[in-house]
A and B are shown apart, each in its own frame.
Chain A
Amino acid sequence: MKLELRRIHINSIEFGSETKIEGEKLIIDKESLIEELEKIPNVKSIKIDLAMPGEKTRIIPVKDVIQPRYKVEGTPGFAGVTSDVKPHGDGIVNIIEGAAIVTIGDIVGFQEGIIDMWGEGAKWTPFSKTCNIVVDISVPEGIEPHEHEETCRLVGLKASELVGLAAKGLTPSDVEVFEMGDNAEETKKYPNLPKVVYVEMLISQGLLHASYIYGVDSAHILPTFLHPNEELDGAVISGNCVAACDKITTYQHQNNAVIRELYKLHGKEINFLGVVLVPEMTTLNGKFVSCDYTAKLCKMLGADGVIISEEGYGNPDSDLVMICSRVEKLGIKSVLITDECSGWDGMSQPLTDIAKEAVAVISTGNVSHVIELEKADRVLGDPEAVANIAGGWAGAYNPEDGTMKCELNAVIGATSEIGTHNATVELY
């Protein structure tokens, strides 16, 4: 498969009479965009705002973040969701780099997901650096939460395609090519390089805890094998919006940092075989089936080593360590990437489960780490959601100056377990 990602860099967005790109400025025809999005079933009304880096603007609660793109050649849209089912992974994509669609609107009252565009909060989310097109979705009274979630998901994806049209007809010079044949071809080229599989765990447990692969709910699948180009091209999308810090947003799937790094090393240090997507099941039997199957798939592929990333926290920690111990017992080396919940002082046991084989674990941050957020000049979204965070514990909110203390788990992408975030690891 060959995927050419072409980036048009923008650093500002304005509303105007036509959706287009002028130099480094993205112009959006707000009325037309709203008109198109309001055609989506179950949408009562759409509101669009802009949030630029540096502004004292807070966006909360965030449902999903999606990168606006235009497919020049190849399967358009998000196959199986917004467009017909066809394979992703081949073709040419024009990406509006520096922009992001951020969907807001709470499906349940306890949703978190903060993006602060300035100050302390901005340090912890990758989306304080993107020029954000904030899409607020209202639905009619009485629709079921499942319908509400699907509507929000579709509006976000569709918005990314409509805004992406601004990149139509452009030929930027910033081009990145992702080209990889099938395993037999690549192994013939690099017979002596160690074979590495990327095992990507996806939250797959129900409403607001879902992921989709070509539109198929990952709760209904066995672990499956994907060419890395497919994920970079939109085959995997997020339906998860309860865990803010480590939910993999659709934007992060489109720019999966682990896949990108493994691709860089492919043919030089490793033979990157591909991606195994693993559903995190709810029942113990489901976990055993999923983890056994994953280990077997890696073994059948001939992996010498696997990198395993998690999504979420709590019962998925069991899957993470079970996959680790199973692959290690089959003679495959493993490295785990996960966030940790080690308490305010960082001293508690990080995961809910352990295995003696889990000796190489990269931490993407402590979700309990407390940060102090200043009062925002403007809040896009639900002020009640701010109150949820502020009321987290006694003393979390200071009514005098409006500052509040919040744990990293409330900040979107703060401890992203696929590495697409700002925190890093220091060895000392």
Chain B
Amino acid sequence: MKELDKEYTLGVYKSIINEKCKINNNEFLIISNNSIVNASFENVVMVDGSFIDVLNTVKKYIEDGNTLVTHPLPASIRMMFSPVRSVILIKKDISDSQETNIKSEQDMYLNIITESIDKYKSVLGKRNIDLKNKSDYEKIDYDLTVSAVEENNFINAFKNI
């Protein structure tokens, strides 16, 4: 059995710490209530509250003209019960929607966040938010944010030049 390649396993994960892959702080902001995310990135709008408060803050920022980079909802039911959530946006002055109908894009993002808020409330229902495992949720939410930043850099490589 081959040895686990530590560089491979953690290399992808740690590449975000490398200067070259850092999120461009002049363009992006992260709306989050996750203390690990707050400590690891510079442009974090730290929300004092829970998952729903993060979503509501995202909605305010979209109404204000900022655009979504990541989808407001996570990809698994279990992560919906998380007390923490981080969402990445592009600041309004930087958005490159000049060629497209800006209003229709804003409508699309507004639609996404509104649907997400409705869906979150209905999924949570009468469930308790899982506060007992908060630190584990923070680790996973942080990692999902790191993956999202890396994915964004990968797709938008030329914008970072």
Contacts and interface: CB of A to CB of B under 8 A. Distances in A.
A242 B3 contact: no
B64 interface: no
B41 interface: no
Contacts of A316: 75
A200 to B, nearest CB: 15
Interface string B120-161: 001101111010110011011001101110011011100000
A32 interface: no
A318 B152 CA distance: 18
A402 B141 CA distance: 33
B91 to A, nearest CB: 16
Interface string B76-97: 1111111000001000000000
A32 B51 CA distance: 47
A266 interface: no
Contact of A219 (B10, B72, B151): B151
Interface of B: 1, 3-4, 6, 9-10, 12-13, 68-82, 88, 112, 115-116, 118-119, 122-123, 125-128, 130, 132-133, 136-137, 139-140, 143-144, 146-148, 151-152, 154-156
A112 interface: yes
Contacts of A207: 13, 140, 143-144, 147
Contacts of A283: 69-71, 88, 148, 151-152, 155
Contact of B73 (A41, A287, A315): A315
A269 to B, nearest CB: 34
Contacts of A287: 71
B126 A285 contact: no
Interface stretch (A11-19, A45-53, A86-94, A144-152): A144-152
Given A286-B152, A314-B79, A341-B123, 10 more contacts: A41-B3, A109-B132, A109-B136, A147-B6, A243-B76, A283-B148, A314-B74, A349-B118, A368-B125, A388-B132
Contacts of A40: 1, 4
B1 A158 contact: yes
Given A146-B10, A147-B10, A409 B144 contact: no
Nearest to A217: B12
B101 to A, nearest CB: 16
Contacts of A209: 75-76, 144
Given A150-B9, A394-B126, A203 B119 contact: no
A41 B6 CA distance: 10
Contacts of A391: 128, 132
9 contacts: A151-B4, A158-B1, A203-B75, A219-B151, A283-B70, A283-B88, A283-B155, A313-B75, A318-B112
B76 A284 contact: no
A315 B133 contact: no
B155 A286 contact: yes
B151 A282 contact: yes
A314 B133 contact: no
Contacts of A409: 77-78
Nearest to A289: B155
Nearest to A42: B4
Interface of A: 39-42, 82, 108-112, 144-147, 150-151, 154, 158, 203, 205-209, 217, 219-220, 240, 242-247, 280-287, 289, 312-316, 318, 341, 343-344, 348-349, 352-353, 367-368, 388, 391-394, 409
B143 A349 contact: no
A120 to B, nearest CB: 20
Contact of B140 (A144, A147, A242, A349): A242
Nearest to B77: A409
A217 to B, nearest CB: 7
Contact of A205 (B6, B144, B154): B144
Contacts of B130: 110, 388
Contacts of A392: 127-128
B92 to A, nearest CB: 16
Nearest to B130: A110
Contacts of B72: 315
B73 A352 contact: yes
A88 B155 CA distance: 30
Contacts of B146: 206
A343 B122 CA distance: 7
B133 A110 contact: yes
B77 A314 contact: yes
A132 B77 CA distance: 26
Contact of B76 (A144, A146, A242, A393): A242
A264 B70 CA distance: 40
Nearest to B150: A219
Closest 8 pairs (CB-CB, A-B) = A206-B147, A243-B76, A315-B71, A108-B136, A110-B133, A314-B73, A109-B133, A207-B143
A240 B75 CA distance: 11
Nearest to B78: A242
A284 B126 CA distance: 30
A352 B116 contact: yes
A291 to B, nearest CB: 13
Contacts of A394: 126, 128
